[in-house]
Structures are given as C-alpha cells and as structure tokens.
Amino acid sequence: SDLQKQEERGELLQPLIFVLLVLCSILLYFKVSLMDPGFVKPEEEEGEDKGQGVVIPQIPGDIKLRRCGYCLVKQPMRAKHCQLCQHCVRRYDHHCPWLENCVGERNHPLFIAYLSVQLVVLLWGGHVAWSGLYFEQSREWLQHNIFLLVSFLLIFIFTIVVLLLLVSHLYLISCNTTTWEFMSHHRISYLQHSQLENPFDQGIIVNLWRFFC
C-alpha cells in the first residue's frame, strides 16, 4: 500500500519523531510543574550544620544558618522561602509563573531538559512553517498564508525567549550559581561575607558534572 511504501522510504519517521518530541516536552512540563522542587521539611533539620561545612568550606564559619521568618524551619545554605509556594526551597533558583512552581534543587535539571526539548520543537516547527510559505505581493496570498505567517512569527518570538532562558541558565550552572544568587548577591549574607566572589564555583567541568550527574 502507499502507506507501507512511505514507511519503507522513511517518510513517516520525521513526523513520528516530531510528535514524540512534543509529547516529551508536555510530559516534562507536567513533571517539573507538579514535582517537589526541594522543599525544606522540619524533620530534615538534624545534621544540617555538619553537612553544610563539608560541602562549602569557603564560607566563613561565623555565618550561622537562620530560621525562616515565614515557615520557621532552619534554612540550609542556598535555600530561600517562596511566598507563592509557602515553602523554603533548597538551592532556590526562581519561581516560574509558567510552571506555577519553584525551580530548585530537585527539578532544576529537568527544567533544563524541558527547555532543551522545547527549543528543538520550536526550531523544527519554525522550519516547517517557513517551508510552507511562498511569498507574493497580493491580497490573495495574504489570505491563504496568514495562518502560517502568524504561526511563524509566534514560533520565532517563543524561540528567542526559550533560547535566552536556556543560555542564561546554562551559564549560571557552569558557574555553580543560581538566578536568585546572581540577582541578589548584595543581599545574601553568605555571599557578602565570603572572600570569594562565588564560593561555590569549582570549575566548569565539575560544576556541570555535579549539577547533571
């Protein structure tokens, strides 16, 4: 049959891969938005001080962990209270309004995976929309191609946004810092009193390995 011949020629492989990528991006979206980003729980306070001293030896010893003024748990180093989620989040990066969830210690790698898959889908969709356009200076052309033209413009805008997000996050990850630490460096006590500009930086290779692996 024609369908079997198309399958043998591999003409169905690309649409199948595209659909799988779209499904993957949707699954990653719900996974990142619904999972625990690293909420600090009261029962996890024991042994917190000891662990912090081992992981971050560059932090001055006179900086003590403080209790959150909202949920009253002892905040680990690099944690921050999110007033929208009503929880302290470990290695807090930011609260994403599109996900309605924080990006923190547990879901940050999946957030990067989601952005990467989404960027591939947008680039592929933009290519498909552009390839379907043929340009003529006439009213009939605009009527027949307005949907593809608007789709391409929207895809182009979203691609720029996702690309900038992904590049900025990869840069911060390679420096072993978070969006919150980068934007609020002057207000964070353990960064203000540190002798190093970024006491968590262990080199690009180690930073990426520790984050993704």
Which residues are the active-site residues?
96
Q: 3-class secondary structure for 20-60?
A: HHHHHHHHHHHHHHHCCCCECCHHHCCCHHHHHHHHCCCCC
Q: What is the DSSP letter of 185?
A: G
CB burial readout 29-68, b (16+ within 10 A) else e: beebbeeebbbbeeeeeeebeeebeeeeeebeeeeeeeee
CA distance linking residue 188 with residue 203, whole number of Å:
22
In the chain, % helix, strand, coil (3-state, to 5) comes to: 55, 5, 35
Which residues make Cβ contacts (< 8 Å) with residue 34, sequence separation at least 6? Answer: 101
Q: Which two tokens stand for residue 107?
A: 């879901």
